[in-house]
Structure 1
Amino acid sequence: MSMPAARKHRPLRRLLTATAALTGLVAVLLSAPSGAQAAETLVSQNKPATASSSEWAGTPASAAVDGDNGTRWSSAFAAAQWFQVDLGAPTAVSRVAINWEGAYAKAFTIQLSTDGSAYTQAYATTTGTGGAQSIPLSGTARYVRINLTQRALDIYGYSFWEFQVFSGGGTTTPGARLLSYAKPARASTEQNDVNCNPCTADKAFDNDPASRWATSSTNGWVDPGWIQVDLGATAQVSQVVLQWDPAYAKAYQIQVSADAVNWTSIYSTTTGDGLKDVINATGTGRYVRMYGTARSSAYGYSLWEFSVYGTGGNPVDPPAKPADPTFPATRLVFADEFNGAAGSKPDTAKWTYDPGVPQNGEVQYYTPNSENASMNGSGSLVIQARKQDYEGRQYTSARMNTSNKFHVQYGKVEARIKVPKGNGLWPAFWMMGADFLNGRPWPYNGEIDIMEVLGRNTSEAYSTLHAPAYNGAGGYGQKYATVDLSQDYHVWAVEWDSKGMRFLLDNREVFYAAKDTVENTRGPWIYDHQFYVILNLAVGGDFPGPIDATTPFPSQMLVDYVHVYQ
């Protein structure tokens, strides 16, 4: 719901090695047991792509290899289609990842070729389900082709946001684990003022991607700048992962030391480009340091996270995350069916009323004690926006949430809702990071907008993520066209785990946010903690625009149910 300033979209990062930077390639960090990290190289990024057809000029083949999950390739509306990417040279391929739009393929094959003439089949299916697919492959290819033969939606063609080909992979040193969590840290300088409070060195090692270290604005925006961690004992380092703030290093070294005085470089680059760097570098020492020698801007250096993996040291395990759900999730952990008598109020054992003056330029007052929210006696909650003088404002509405009643991390969160139509109306179904309740400010707590609809155009909707590095108008999300949502109830949902979020409208995927992609293109993934659920109907504001004489009052947002499954 919140709409502060935008952030610029950034291209996918590359994988860095101890010997050289593999320019133009991408780092993808996969989960592996015992804290180890598995790394692959994305080899299809911005490579030449061709296809049997394109639906129109705005959905060319190149849009599926540009690293942007907001652009896509789509074909003509016919069953027999193909898409191909030229890797530029024969390459050992290990996996293909496809992020399908709603028009996915039920049946398709993937073929490999070294010369663009003779192809071998590497994968085939007749039971494709769309969404985000990860397909292991084995072979050498310059050309990777997907042949599409059966459509999921016969009235359309095929469409995917991204078609990614990977090379390499495998885990790091056997037994490798996170060594740097909660270890003592020092830096050349630290920022600790109203603009970054605190941005001390320890924040880069707290396993919290919404906190960061930054060099001091008073005397730290100079070269060199450095940050180091004491692993507690001698360690064999095998990998370092840096999640940069926009104040990143163009030139830096990763160094190790036995005594924090004499340093040995195990990695060096002069072409750093920020965001996420996965550095496979080997060295032995108790101390590990990032030593920056050329800044990317007039600012200093800043890191959200500095993670060191390997063996030895004196590691402390970070708090364990809950297990990922298996989807479709079926264990109901929260439900409100809103089946009360007409005029009865929402259950205060489940919902907290959220009264007061809103943000974002909205004109309503959210009334206390659910004055604008009640059951209709037919199985729905009615959130009503009225033209009504209240506390100095001329409009009222309701906002309610499950804060301190029900919090959740991972699962399927869904609601069946009918939205109102009218200029300036802004219904939403969303979630806020529960650490907001303990004083962490937005957007550092994280926001998950499962559904936002603007009353001026109820034939489209939005699903969006907000974090420190991407928020407001620059949030990471998707606008999608659909039927007129004000004419009937529709089911919005998010399937959320440690790898990403799959947003659904009426059981059809409308957007997939992959953790790896977000970290490599926009900034930290800050959603691996508990959130609470929010329902509201706003009036006016920066996003929906103003109300006018045509806006109907009262207007109603109807909620049939809210369910959460794990």
Structure 2
Amino acid sequence: MRKHLRRFAAAASAASLLALGALTQLPVATAAAEPLSQGRPVTTSSTEFTWSTGANAVDGDPGTRWSSAAADNQWIRVDLGSVQAIDRVVLDWEGAYASGFRIEVSHDASTWSTIYSTTTGTGGDQDLDVDGSGRYLRLWVTQRATQWGVSLWELQVLGAGGVGQPGDTTLLSYGKAGTASSSQDDGTCWQCSPDKAFDLDPASRWAVDPDTGWVDEGWIAVDLGAAAQLSSVVLQWDPAFATTFDIEVSDDGSTWRSVHTTTGGTGFRQTIPLDAEGRHVRVHMRDRSGPYGYSLWEFQVYGTGGAPTAPPAEPADPDFADLDLVWSDEFDGAAGSPANAARWTIDPGLPQNNEQQVYTPSGNGFHDGQGNFVLEARREDRDGRQFTSHRMNTSGTFNTQYGRFEARVKVPEGRGLWPAFWMMGSDFLEGRPWPYNGEIDIMEFIGQDPTRAHSTLHAPAYNGAGGYGGGYSLPDGSKISDGFHTWAAEWDSEGIQFSLDGRDVFYADRDTVESTRGPWVYDHDFYMILNLAVGGDWPGPPDATTPFPSRMLVDYVRVYQ
């Protein structure tokens, strides 16, 4: 969730747990520890009943539980999302408890370290002091205390938070010289040289040469400019990732020593804590995840020392509880007048996605004199096509990063109609092609599905039909096209919260995206777009039932920061 809501949720969760603790004598977190496991993804060795799943052990509800099959060597594993410092594990056992168990941590869910072990478990409520770090924590049962399996009301993992995360120490690798076993530069991956992994641009990447580098042995290295104490390495992999690799360091770039080894590389974003010294850092890849070579969007090294170059400063995250209106159009123009040129650029657009309309510079977009702007789709011949419509954007007047972006819109119903309120990365204007610039679709609506709308993100690793997003309906299931509705996106460095009429409908969490889909490419300026498309790959073509003319009405567009 957004930062202010995360703080509220954490406080509310702690208060709830304290209240539950008073009733059930559950051990609860002190103010010094941060709950790390609640609501996180869980995997288990087995589940006794369909209703006793692993998720019940981390849901904060002491009335739900996980239970296993009736056997030893059962386990439950929680994914904390990133590497975390862990100092307590709280277990609330049901009557079927474990007398022997161990608690293990891992950075990659492959190589495990034991941080607690016992053969004299007593069941009940156990508050265990531990000392470890990892993205994954696993409770492994070596001996049951009963004839049944094992069962937990709650598994709480507590700690101080992230380890080796950006901000804890200095980013040492930004802008530094890189070398690699080979590099790709062709139409598939243009200028994918080693420096692209160190430029803090998540939409550029390094890749090995397909002609010589699609083999198991490969590497990329960075010269930090001076000796450094290293605290972590962050890797954002392309789908062509390494399952087996070493992190190596060197004082001279010639003689290397391994400081981390894994045979269970997971791809996506991996944060690897280190305690090592060296001037040069290398990812030495030894086993591919698939038939292709290796590719990294980002290779970041954190620590102290070195000769760091400060990256450009990012704007501060907005406080969504205290925002000011910084840009708006209330569309109060005279009837028939075009969009205000001081706010909007008329966008001819290209008929992407096999759309069938022509966007006209005038005629299809106008004020209605009642406080709305009209984008009108018509059935008429123009430039060899049968439909005309309108599209406009703020590319020439307003480009910005972060804030609340809001529009009150009435969308048209009808097969093949495709209205949208969305945003494009401003570097598209400088020649960076889609989807490398990033796209934020605050609202898309398919006219033949009048009860659902959609909010979606598009980036190099997830776009088109594979975009990251979700569809949603009104609480009562009524047609969205029956009236005006307010769509909004609250966007900061941690994620984007989409809402409809003030009700949250989809949250794109940066950590989740980087850990499951690919790079987060939204930390730069974007501009807004309004358009009404006709036809296209998603809605398909209009038919005889589609009403023409059809109107998308916009009451206002507002931006708060």
TM-score range normalised by the length of the shorter chain: 0.7 to 0.9
Matched, 1:494 2:496: no
CA distance in 1, matches of 2:487, 2:46: 34
1:332: Cα distance to partner? 0.8
Q: Which one of the candidate residues 169, 172, 181 is aligned to 2:174?
A: 181
> What is the CA-CA distance between 1:479 and the residue it aligns to?
0.9
CA distance, structure 2, for counterparts of residue 363 and residue 167 of structure 1: 55
Q: CA deviation at 1:320?
A: 1.0
* 2:313 is the counterpart of 1:304: no
* Superposition deviation, residue 545 in structure 1: 1.4
Residue 412, structure 1, aligned to residue 390, structure 2: no
Equivalent residue, structure 2, for 1:45: 41
Question: Cα gap change, 1:81/1:422 in structure 2, threshold over 3 Å: closer, same or farther?
Answer: farther
* 2:254 equivalent to 1:261: yes
8 Å contact 1:45–1:66 — kept in the other structure? no
What per-residue deviation string (whole Å, max 9, x for no partner) do you get for residues 533-552 of structure 1? 00000001111111000000
- Does residue 278 (structure 1) correspond to residue 274 (structure 2)? The answer is no
Question: Contact 1:230/1:286 (CA < 8 Å) preserved in 2?
Answer: yes
Mapped to 2, the partners of 1:388 and 1:276 lie a distance apart of 49
- Secondary structure of residue in 2 paired with 1:281: strand
Are the counterparts in 1 of residues 250 and 278 from structure 2 also a CA contact under 8 Å?
yes
Instruction: Return the alpha-carbon distance in structure 1 between the equivalents of residues 126 and 255 of structure 2.
Output: 54
Q: Which residue pairs with 2:519 in the alignment? A: 524
- Are 2:93 and 1:115 aligned? yes
Q: Which moved more, 1:473-482 or 1:304-313?
A: 473-482
1:62 offset after TM fit, Å?
A: 5.5
Match of 2:316 among 318, 323, 334: 323
The correspondence of residues 412-491 of structure 1 with structure 2, limited to 5 A, is 412-482=404-474, 483-491=478-486
Query: 1:115 is aligned with what amino acid?
Result: W
SS in 2 for 1:516: helix
Aligned CA distance change for structure 1 residues 430 and 279 (closer, same or farther; 3 Å): same
Distance 2:35 2:272 in 1: 9
Letter in 2 for 1:479: G
SS in 2 for 1:558: strand
Q: Counterpart of 2:71?
A: none
SS at match of 2:554: strand
Is the CA contact 2:92–2:126 (under 8 Å) kept in the aligned structure 1? no
SS at match of 2:512: helix
Contact 1:50 1:84 in 2 (8 A): no
| 1:374 aligned partner | 366
Q: Which runs of 5+ in 2 are unaligned?
A: 1-33, 69-73, 83-88, 96-122, 128-149
| Aligned ranges 1:16-27 → 2 under 5 Å | none
CA spacing shift, 1:61–1:260, aligned 2, 3 Å: same
What residue is the counterpart of 1:556 in the other structure?
551
Equivalent in 199, 208, 212 of residue 201 of structure 2: 208
CA distance in 1, matches of 2:349, 2:227: 55
Whether the 8 Å CA contact 2:57–2:65 is kept in 1: the answer is no
Aligned to 2:395: 403
In 2, the alpha carbon distance for the partners of 1:320 and 1:85 equals 46
Alpha carbons 2:234, 2:271 under 8 Å: kept: yes
SS state at 2:261 partner: strand
Residues 255/472 of structure 1: CA separation in 2 closer, same or farther (3 Å cut): same
Q: Is the 8 A contact 1:46 1:65 kept in 2?
A: no
Query: Alignment partner of 2:43: what SS?
Result: coil
Larger radius of gyration: 2
For the 8 Å contact 2:246–2:262, the answer to whether it is kept is yes
Letter aligned with residue 399 of structure 2? H
How far is the alpha carbon of 1:476 from its aligned partner? Answer: 0.4
Higher RCO by CA contacts (8 Å cutoff, separation 6 or greater):
1
Sequence identity, in percent?
Answer: 54
Contact 2:53 2:65 in 1 (8 A): no
Tell me the TM-score normalised to structure 2 length.
Answer: 0.76
Contact 1:49–1:65 (CA under 8 A) maintained in structure 2: no
Amino acid at match of 1:116: E
Secondary structure in structure 2 of the residue aligned to 1:450 = strand
Residue 276 of structure 1 deviates from its aligned partner by 1.1
Q: Is the 8 A contact 2:441 2:455 kept in 1?
A: yes
1:96-147 Cα shifts (integer Å, max 9, x gaps): 9xxxxxxxxxxxxxx964313698799xxxxxxxxxxxxxxxxxx984659x
Report what 2:306 is aligned to.
313
Q: Which runs of 5+ in 1 are unaligned?
A: 1-37, 68-72, 74-79, 97-110, 123-140, 147-163
Q: Find out whether 1:362 has 2:340 as its counterpart.
A: no
Tell me how far apart the structure 2 counterparts of residues 537 and 413 of structure 1 sit (CA, whole Å). Answer: 19
Q: 1:408 to 1:50 in 2, by over 3 A?
A: farther
Q: Distance in 2 between matches of 1:497 and 1:197?
A: 30
Q: CA deviation at 1:433?
A: 0.4
Instruction: Classify 1:315/1:95 alpha carbon distance in 2 versus 1 (closer, same or farther; 3 Å).
Output: closer
Contact kept in structure 1, 2:54 and 2:66, CA below 8 Å: no
8 Å Cα contact 2:178/2:195 also seen in 1: yes
Alignment CA distance shift 1:47-1:336 (3 Å): same
Counterpart of 2:253 in structure 1: which amino acid? Answer: A
Q: 1:351 aligns with which of 337, 344, 353?
A: 344
- 3-state SS of paired residue (1:436): helix
Q: 1:121 to 1:349 in 2, by over 3 A?
A: farther
Give CA-to-partner distance per residue, 1:421-450, whole Å, 9 cap, x none: 000000000000000000110000000000
Over 3 Å counting, the alpha-carbon distance change for 1:508 and 1:301 in structure 2 is: same
User: What's the Cα RMSD here?
Assistant: 3.4
TM-score using structure 1 length: 0.75
Read off the aligned partner of 2:401 and give its amino acid letter: Q
Q: Residues of 1 paired with 2:267 and 2:257: CA distance?
A: 23
Per-residue CA distance 1:7-44 (angstroms, 9 max, x = gap): xxxxxxxxxxxxxxxxxxxxxxxxxxxxxxx9978995
Give the alignment partner of residue 239 of structure 1, picking from 222, 227, 232. 232
State which of 507, 510, 519 in structure 1 corresponds to 2:505.
Answer: 510
Aligned equivalents of 2:53, 2:329: Cα separation in 1: 45
Q: Give the conservation status (yes or no) of the 8 Å contact 1:360–1:542.
A: yes
Q: Distance in 1 between matches of 2:450 and 2:559?
A: 25
Deviation at 1:224, TM superposition (A): 1.1
In structure 1, distance between residues paired with 2:549 and 2:179: 58
Go from structure 1 to structure 2 and tell me whether the alpha carbon gap of 1:92 and 1:65 turns closer, same or farther (over 3 Å shift).
closer
The residue identity in structure 1 corresponding to 2:288 is: R
Deviation, structure 1 residue 481: 2.1
- Inter-partner Cα distance in structure 2 for 1:50 and 1:561: 53
Shift of 1:471: 0.5
Q: 1:475 to 1:349 in 2, by over 3 A?
A: same
Q: How do 1:217-232 residues align onto structure 2 when only pairs under 5 Å count? A: 217-232=210-225
CA gap 1:145/1:495 in 2 versus in 1, 3 angstroms: farther
| Matching of residue 338 in structure 1 with residue 331 in structure 2 | yes
Deviation, 1:167, is 5.8
Shift in Å, 1:277: 1.0
Contact 1:41 1:168 in 2 (8 A): no
Q: 1:93 deviation in Å?
A: 12
Q: 1:498 to 1:175 in 2, by over 3 A?
A: closer
**Per-residue Cα deviation, 1:382-424 (whole angstroms, up to 9, x for no partner):** 0000011111111000010000210111100000000000000
Distance 1:62 1:476 in 2: 26
Match status 1:534 vs 2:529: yes
Letter in 2 for 1:553: F
Q: Per-residue deviation at 1:296?
A: 1.2
Question: What residue number does 2:375 align with?
Answer: 383
